[in-house]
Amino acid sequence: MIPYGKQDITQEDIDSVVDVLKSEFITQGPAIPRFEKAISEYCGAEYAVAVNSATSALHVACLALGLGPGDWLWTSPNTFVASANCGLYCGAKVDFVDIDERTYNMSVDALVLKLKTAEQEGKLPKIVVPVHFAGQSCDMKAIKQLADKYGFKIIEDASHAIGGKYLDQPVGNCNYSDITVFSFHPVKIITTAEGGVAVTNDEVLAAIMQRLRTHGITRDAEYMESELEGPWYYQQIELGFNYRMTDMQAALGNSQMQRLDQYVASRHLIQDRYDSLLEDLPVITPWQNPDSYSALHLYPVQIEKNCGIARKQVFDELRNSGIGVNVHYIPVHTQPYYQKAGFRLDDFPVALAYYQQAISLPMFSKLKEEEQLEVVNALRKSLS
């Protein structure tokens, strides 16, 4: 089976993890601050806080921005459930903004309309979470202008987008957001097995997220509520979690970071090849916004509706020919959990229509040309 996504682990990666295993610290050692520095320097953000998943990063990011009961968090329906669940973890309410039919990212037009209504009803969001779907940045300039006008905070869910650029600047510099989150799950651009990071330019937000990942505990006298009692002393000043990344994971991340640009470049070659091989087939290939240099986490195509062949049939035939296609994403509001909360299937029609035709073709940095031809031939056969 050719999977839709897959990690690339080299001997250097293995050696760097083994080095940690043989060292004094297998967690909370020197690899973590080194990884955080590598990420923040790469992205051009001041601070990076490494945690055990992007889900945890989204959770502590929401808490750091003060999200709580009575507040609203808005995100895209075309995402993994974690982008929305983080709001619920904080006791807030979650709503969605439909997507743009070309980029599959949160539609700025839909956001403008929804903000106008929400303002009249007194239900403006506290946080908006734009998701850089497939690695392509959202229209952050426009979303930031709306944040300034309506007073909401922005967390970029850039789980797909490390190594990508927006307006020639790295995604994660937080020029248009308060916090940006990356995921290092094995199917993502680089991996730490499980892992995530939150980057920010705000010192206070960084300090809160650092505490929340480790039980709400600080060892920094500056943040304590009374005098330091001695060198052993720490204080729990919030209710936090154990969301820490291990040194083994950070060592893997440090080693993977060396190849980040290479990975994204090879994804671009794969994209170019798909684009030309698929030209004469009844599929809509992913449109690339010139404002963005995508990290190309995914290569989602839509089977043209009027071609007479159902998406499910194409999907089943590809799977049966050993092509591990997938679908990104089942719109979050259609999940039973969210349906029970009152969402209707047709609440976000663009996301739903996109989902019904979507198939993600294999896309990972080490996908070979022969494998790609195999994918395209199987797709061609299915569509003929």
Ligand X SMILES: *Cc1c(COP(=O)(O)O)cnc(C)c1O
Question: What's the closest the beta carbon of residue 317 comes to ligand X, in angstroms?
Answer: 26
- Do residues 83 and 332 touch, judged by C-beta distance below 8 A? yes
Residue 354 or 378 having the CB closest to ligand X:
354
Contact region for ligand X (CB under 6 A) — 3-11, 77-85, 219-227, 282-290?
77-85
Going residue by residue from 155 to 184, which x/- string records binding to ligand X, judged by CB under 6 A? Answer: --x-xx----------------------x-
Task: Quote the CA–CA distance of 43 and 112 in Å, as a whole number.
Answer: 29
Which residue matches tokens 């889900």?
55
Nearer to ligand X, 249 or 302 (CB): 249
Using CA atoms, how far residue 79 sits from 82, 238, 342, 372, in Å, is 8, 30, 19, 25
Cβ-based nearer residue to ligand X, 55 or 200? 55
Residue 271 touching ligand X (CB under 6 A): no
Q: Name the CA radius of gyration of the chain, rounded.
A: 21
- Which CB atom, from 45 or from 82, has the smaller least distance to ligand X? 82
Among 40, 53, 180, 191, binds ligand X (CB under 6 A): 53
The 3-class SS string of 32-87 reads HHHHHHHHHHHHCCCEEEEECCHHHHHHHHHHHCCCCCCCEEEECCCCCCHHHHHH
196 lies in the binding site for ligand X (CB under 6 A) = yes
82 counts as binding ligand X under rule CB under 6 A: yes
# of chain residues touching ligand X (CB under 6 A): 14
> Does 185 contact ligand X by CB under 6 A?
yes
* Minimum CB–partner distance for residue 5 and ligand X (Å): 10
Applying CB under 6 A, does 83 fall inside the site for ligand X?
Answer: yes
| Residue 71 Cβ vs ligand X, minimum distance, rounded to whole Å | 20
**Amino acid at site 89:** Y
87 binds ligand X (CB under 6 A): no
Determine the interface stretch with ligand X among 78-86, 96-104, 116-124, 301-309 (rule: CB under 6 A).
78-86
Considering the complex, state which of residue 294 and residue 382 has its C-beta at the smaller distance from ligand X. 294
Q: Which stretch binds ligand X (CB under 6 A): 47-55, 165-173, 283-291, 332-340?
A: 47-55
CB of 125 to ligand X, least distance (A): 18
- Supply angle C-alpha 84, 88, 89, rounded to 5: 110
Does 259 sit near ligand X (CB under 6 A)?
no
Of 167, 174, 176, 164, the residue nearest 199 (C-alpha): 174
Q: Could you say whether residue 131 binds ligand X (CB under 6 A)?
A: yes
CB 107 within 8 A of CB 121: no
Q: What residue spans of the chain are helical by DSSP H?
A: 11-21, 31-43, 54-64, 82-89, 108-121, 140-150, 203-212, 247-257, 260-277, 311-320, 336-340, 349-357, 369-383
Q: How far apart are CA 245 and CA 311, in angstroms?
A: 39
35, 250 in Cβ contact below 8 A?
A: yes
Closest approach of ligand X to the CB of residue 24, in Å: 28
- The position carrying tokens 């030209």 is 279
Distance in angstroms (rounded) separating the CA atoms of residues 263 and 275: 18
- Using the rule CB under 6 A, which residue among 7, 16, 40, 55 binds ligand X? 55
Spatial distance between the Cα atoms of 160 and 176, rounded to a whole number of angstroms = 17
User: Is 183 or 294 the residue whose CB approaches ligand X more closely?
Assistant: 183
Stretch that binds ligand X, among 53-61, 230-238, 311-319, 337-345 (CB under 6 A): 53-61
* 54 lies in the site for ligand X, by CB under 6 A: yes
Nearest distance, CB of residue 6 and ligand X, angstroms = 14
Per-residue x/- track, 275-314, ligand X (CB under 6 A): ----------------------------------------
- Say if residues 196 and 184 touch (Cβ distance below 8 Å): yes
Scanning residues 358 to 377, which ones bind ligand X (CB under 6 A)? none
- By the 10 Å C-beta count (0-12 exposed, 13-18 middle, 19+ buried), 223 is classed as middle
Residues that bind ligand X (CB under 6 A): 53-55, 79-80, 82-83, 131, 157, 159-160, 183, 185, 196
